[in-house]
Amino acid sequence: MEKIKSILEDAVKHLTGDATCVLARPEKKLEISKEKGILPLLLWMRDDQGYLQDAVIADRIIGRAAAFLAVYGGARAVYGEVMSAGAVPILEEAGILYSYKTITERIINRKGDGPCPMEQAVFGVRNPSLAAAILQAKVFG
């Protein structure tokens, strides 16, 4: 557990500048994305179902959608600069270590005038596999 915490702390340090999401996997090179929203997670998982297995994820925003993807992908730990209260029980139920800088009631859209469309897409969903399928369909068609 201490090793995972250490890897998570290192990933968080790389969440600077234009970086929106950092992925650290055992024995692999650190990956940094500048893509927005849940797109980094979806792209990493798109061609390799096990890509997030045992990974540590540091992201600007972790809502329910990102939490479901982390669970579905088999991540070990997640950090969000902002994390929604709805993401917490999803991560806890899966036994994923998590931390955050700020907790918020909900994730809003980029315009700031309503809920995040990815969060809306998985509203009421409880199954990570179903959530991942919904999110993949919404983003990739």
Per-residue pLDDT of the chain (141 residues; tens, 9 = 90+): 889 999 999 999 999 999 999 999 988 899 999 999 999 999 999 978 789 999 999 999 999 999 999 999 999 999 999 999 999 999 999 999 999 999 999 999 999 999 999 999 999 999 999 999 999 999 999
CATH number at residue 70: 3.40.140.30
Is the Cβ–Cβ distance between 42 and 24 less than 8 Å? no
**pLDDT value of residue 57:** 98
Structural domain harbouring 18? 2-140
**pLDDT value of residue 82:** 98
Total domain count for the chain? Answer: 1
**pLDDT value of residue 129:** 96
The model's pTM is 0.96
Q: What are the φ and ψ backbone dihedral angles of 38, each rounded to 5 degrees?
A: -90, 0
Show the beta-strand stretches assigned E in 7-129.
Answer: 21-24, 31-33, 56-62, 77-84, 97-104
Distances, alpha carbon 16 to alpha carbons 4, 19, 32, 33, 86, in Å: 20, 5, 10, 11, 25
**pLDDT value of residue 73:** 97
**pLDDT value of residue 27:** 84
